[in-house]
Amino acid sequence: MARKIQALRGMNDILPGQSSVWQYLENVVADVAKSYGYQQIRFPIVENTDLFKRGVGEATDIVEKEMYTFEDRNGESLTLRPEGTASCVRAADQAGLLFNQVQRLWYTGPMFRYERPQKGRYRQFYQIGLECFGMSSADIDAELIVLLARLWKKLGLLDHVELQLNTIGESSEREAYKAALVEYLTGFKDQLDEDSQRRLSTNPMRILDSKDVNTQAILDKAPSLEEFIGEESRAHFDRLQSLLTANGVSFVINRRLVRGLDYYSKTVFEWVTTHLGAQATVCGGGRYDGLVELLGGKPTPAVGFAMGIERLVLLLETLDLIPDEAKPSVDLFIVSFGEDAEVRSFVLAEEIRSHTNDLVVMRHCGGGNFKNQMKKANNSGARFTVILGQDEVDQGICQIKDMQTGEQETCSFDSVVAYVNTKF
């Protein structure tokens, strides 16, 4: 036998049993986004490597060590998208949708990062993201967060996630803070964890994110970012908080939350859960007023977030929050015996599908005796089974069996649709 080829490490198949949960989640997100006027945008999975180098930032984990970058046959450097924001900006700007306009966009699809695969962390993973352009006030930051709170509520997750908020100010404020932080931490360089030592020269603010206990202890006495935040950023942050409070959305302020990407300014936020171990963040976002310009567009304020679908699916499964409607089911199973009945049942199945709403009608294909076909009907989990043999065809009727009670009723062909509609 030929050797079977396996999927790549960290790249998962979403199998039929699971895909219905994914669809449920994706549909709920799409509905909520639509109810706030967001429109979907789709962009390619592969882009010029420079887009992410510039858009995500050379000194980020993503660009330093996580990108799937390769040369195509022309020798051009291409990268499988590690995130959606840079591509979204590229696509929207290229289409002339950004300058002097307001846009509320959402996207979904696979992202690729070369990370160590573990629960909730994969090399191909899926995100749903929302991005807003052309609005600089804190109202839109608040709208995105309130929208997320609505989404968590719909999914039954609101009590299981916590909103963490911070402001990282304007880039000039951050530069001043970075300098102070580096000056302080340089005195403790030998005691920092390895990653943080490296980041001291490449991306010092990410040291605030370090999980290392020693590093965190050293940070306790470090200068605080808060002291460097200017008047306007502060007012923006205050307004965001009061809008959230007015809408009953609770949050905690985490002064060490900086997020991994270079391009954020002012608001940053994450929704975290205690149910998924180390992969605690299900959604992260923030304001990125400088990105459009950094990518060659006209200055355009922007804010957005991305959520990880795998982590949300894991969370829904862990908490047993998948509603019955989201599970695959069969409403009506149709069995038939003999050539005439097979043809008649085929036509009947189509008729039922045409005149009912959202019913799952499954017809047994390929013949077989009564016992076998009824076994298939049973295994399908259908609520009703429609049974047709030659006698039924001759009399223009069929039998309809209620699979829960075992009761069977006779129905004329003409009245099957009406009968089925009384049952569902």
Q: Which two tokens stand for residue 245?
A: 């409070």
Residue nearest to ligand ATP (CB): 308
Nearer to ligand ATP, 236 or 311 (CB): 311
Under rule CB under 6 A, residue 239 binds ligand ATP: no
24, 52, 106, 122: which one binds ligand ATP (CB under 6 A): 122
User: How distant is the alpha carbon of residue 413 from its chain centre?
Assistant: 45
User: Does 254 interact with ligand ATP (rule: CB under 6 A)?
Assistant: no
CB closer to ligand ATP, 281 vs 373: 281
Write the DSSP symbol of residue 224. Answer: P
The DSSP line for 136-178 is -SHHHHHHHHHHHHHHHHHHT-GGG-EEEEEE---HHHHHHHH
CB of 270 to ligand ATP, least distance (A): 7
User: Is there binding between residue 341 and ligand ATP (CB under 6 A)?
Assistant: no
Contact pattern from residue 49 through residue 88 relative to ligand ATP, giving x for each residue in contact according to CB under 6 A and a dash for the rest: ----------------------------------x-----
Report if residue 306 touches ligand ATP, rule: CB under 6 A: yes
Per rule CB under 6 A, is residue 264 in the interface with ligand ATP?
Answer: no
Nearest residue to 339 (alpha-carbon basis) of 289, 299, 409, 389: 389
What is the SS3 assignment for 41?
coil
The string of DSSP letters for 57-113 reads -TTSHIIIII-EEEE-TTS-EEEE-S-SHHHHHHHHHHTT-STT--EEEEEEEEEE-
- Least distance from C-beta 306 to ligand ATP, angstroms? 4
Among 113, 160, 364, 383, the residue binding ligand ATP under the rule CB under 6 A is 113
Binding status of residue 282 toward ligand ATP by CB under 6 A: yes
Residue list 364-403, contact with ligand ATP (CB under 6 A): none
Burial of 17 (0-12, 13-18, 19+ CB in 10 A): exposed
Residue 268 contacts ligand ATP per CB under 6 A:
no
Question: Least CB distance from residue 284 to ligand ATP, whole Å?
Answer: 4
State the greatest distance between any 2 C-alpha atoms of the chain, in Å, as a whole number: 94
Which residue matches tokens 């049973």?
378
**For residue 44, is it left (φ>0), alpha (ψ between -120 and 50) or beta?**
beta
- Segment interacting with ligand ATP, rule: CB under 6 A, options 27-35, 115-123, 250-258, 393-401: 115-123
| 311 in contact with ligand ATP (CB under 6 A) | yes
Evaluate whether 351 touches 363 at the Cβ level (below 8 Å): no
Residues of this chain that interact with ligand ATP (CB under 6 A) are 83, 113, 115, 120-122, 125, 127, 260, 279, 281-284, 306-308, 310-311
Question: Binding site for L-histidine: residue ranges?
Answer: 83-85, 113, 127, 131, 259, 263-264
